[in-house]
Structure 1
């Protein structure tokens, strides 16, 4: 049949749902293979002083790349080596202290089998992920992880579908178990993702984005309301701190406070800032994570906050600074 012709009355929805049912059934079988061998594999990786080198051909290779990436980003140094390229020089990338995680559904990958004698000679621990512990790779493995499924979602039983899903999930199980065992934190995760939004949210501190020095809106407690309003206008942060001569915080005055002053009918021409400011003011420390300061600002419904050590004013951070830094 031509690829442009469809089976009469073909039901795409029913076909898609059948794939999900088959793959779900395959995954339900996988739990039995999270066993003593899985524990041994985790313990070996935790004890490894080198890296986890993942190998696989074809679709197993594609899954292997993802497993290596997941391990690397969750605290287990790892990288992928293509088995065919390894036979032509890339095997030199694998050091003696490394663990090799070799993936093949059948367990008969000729490209990987050709490498095993060299890996054995180099005394690399070999973890093989296959559907058959009695396969060539299964027998050669120091630790075997079974990924057997009864049926591929492909109706021809040819295209790796349920088996690659099972392989991916087994890799995720390894990575997450190792992550938990290491006590890996969100901050640790961010260190390997500094360029993304997560990294910015978890690594950026208030001190990295706060306004300092002459950029801080600040007047003395003897200042008039007019002086404070001019300072707010100059610094464009919608507020000003009120400090003594040593930059110790006395209070804060915001554009929101100004609206309340209007409602109170105070004489704007003669009012002193000390009479209408908010004493103290909400403040954060410079080493606080920017995302924590953002959460505080949102909880208090404010757009700017003082940055201080004790009573000493060090800076001011505004909601717009969070936006520019990509924290929001």
Structure 2
């Protein structure tokens, strides 16, 4: 147990400031400042939450099933994109490209390849020496609570002003610049616990394979979005290109519905229409799951304070001022939804 001014108190800088301000206003004739509530105590780790418990095993199975569900449409459309490229190259040598892509998943188990993905696809960077010295003691506290070796995952920094980094696969844990330079140690520990919780809910190798085989489809999606921007900037050319793409897509869909006896392939061709809201819902669900896992380790109050502090610093309301369609298609829940869920769980 620590008191204000105790050098072992991890929030000493914040507590001493509040205590000094309160002492200054104790002079006669000066109205006192409002009392700042102390940080809620951390919850104890609930029984059965260790890695070998049945509850953790069930959570891992559910997360793995959700990951597989979201990986199926990505893999199918990546296969379609690679097959289309094979058709352009000719089905003689082109099939070698398809086979090479199918067996290329083994390279993701190499750490240099994982670091390449983190640096060039996720736009992350390694922390500097000073940043590393700030992160490592806090990270060790988080991994000790989680019961895993602290060197299993590597922390990368994302140049972002958001409270949480983009979830990354494999052994890469992202941390935003805002969290690193703004938060006190206890709050930063809660953020790192949330980022680690994304990895505790599933299989690292499965997340890596899922992302690797989704790269062709994601590249095609970037191209479609570029066509959308072209259509807005040059309507005549953009509408012609979009019309040609849609005509070809629906032509293939009609052919599949006509000549294919099963319904599996036609349903997969309909995934561009039905998969985006499902994938967005799965991503929002994973964020809530990560919050719950971090709260089970005792970091629920810290994450709540981080979300409130981020909203106050950016002078935003604790909610979302966008349309219902944007909320429905968003890949992350609003801070208000996260705070409400965590406050309910903490209570």
Structure 1 and Structure 2 fold alike (TM over 0.5): no
Q: Which has the larger radius of gyration?
A: 1
Higher strand share: 1
TM-score (norm 2): 0.18
TM-score (norm 1): 0.19
The structure, 1 or 2, with the larger RCO (C-alpha pairs under 8 Å, 6+ apart) is 2
